[in-house]
Amino acid sequence: MGIAVNGIDVPDAEIEAELAHHAGAGNPLKAAVHEVVLRRVLLAEAARLGIAAAGDDDTIEALFDREVKVPQADDAACRRFYDAHRDRFASGEMVEARHILFQVTPAAPLDLLRDTGEQILAELQARPERFDELARQYSNCPSGAVGGSLGQLSRGQCVPEFEALLFRLRPGELAGRLLETRFGLHIVQVLRREEGRVLPFETVRGHVRDTLQRQSWQRALHQYLHILVGRADIEGVALGGADSPLVQ
């Protein structure tokens, strides 16, 4: 493919091997190329600093441990986050929901699925009573066999992007757009919800601190990766340092 990092060619075989880990990406080839190139950039930096471990992943982890540092979140920052996101700390909060999943596969590319999903969403907005029928007909989730029902869900049971939408919807509300997750595209409806009791700050202080610490580390890591990518001599591809599962 004519890709090189710091003057060293990246063989096609290395990219082909990486492709298997990105089958669910919108553009698997682009994701695989970016992953391979970014890994090479990181390993080159680790070698420059004299950092070595048993394997590539451990070496990159050791590089991050040494080079990416963030301060501890203090109580004032934790309190501000808690006050701004009290809904995250509700105990017993629950929704009953259903969905229709359009799963991305090689035979069903994202653009085709999106067109189909938007057509079905428009039909449900006009005729919501067809949800059960259309879920059984179109959903790629096993829940399709029961009209898309996901049963009762509490926080922490779904991937973050799905959960965020679920707990914003009102009882009976059909989401007005398709939701994209790692599993594909979803039409989502909440049938019922029960409000939880907000846990006191003292109970969740440690969780809040961990959350803020993780967010700070992610921001610092993204900045670090962009710096490394900017310094590296990369030929044949334009690389965004933060666009990689390595930083998830």
Tell me the mean pLDDT per 10 residues along the chain, length 248: 86 88 80 91 94 91 93 94 87 90 81 91 96 95 94 88 92 94 93 87 94 93 92 82 44
Question: Strand (E) positions, 115-227?
Answer: 149-154, 179-181, 184-194, 197-198
CA angle, residues 28, 30, 32, in degrees to nearest 5: 65
pLDDT value, residue 245: 42
Q: How is domain 93-195 classified at the CATH fold level?
A: Chitinase A; domain 3 (3.10.50)
Portions of the chain given CATH number 3.10.50.40? 93-195
Q: Mapping DSSP to helix (H, G, I), strand (E, B) and coil, where does residue 154 land?
A: strand
Sheet of 234-235, strands arranged across: 8-9, 4-5, 234-235
pLDDT value, residue 248: 42
Q: Is the pTM of this model over 0.85?
A: no
Structure tokens at 42: 């990181």
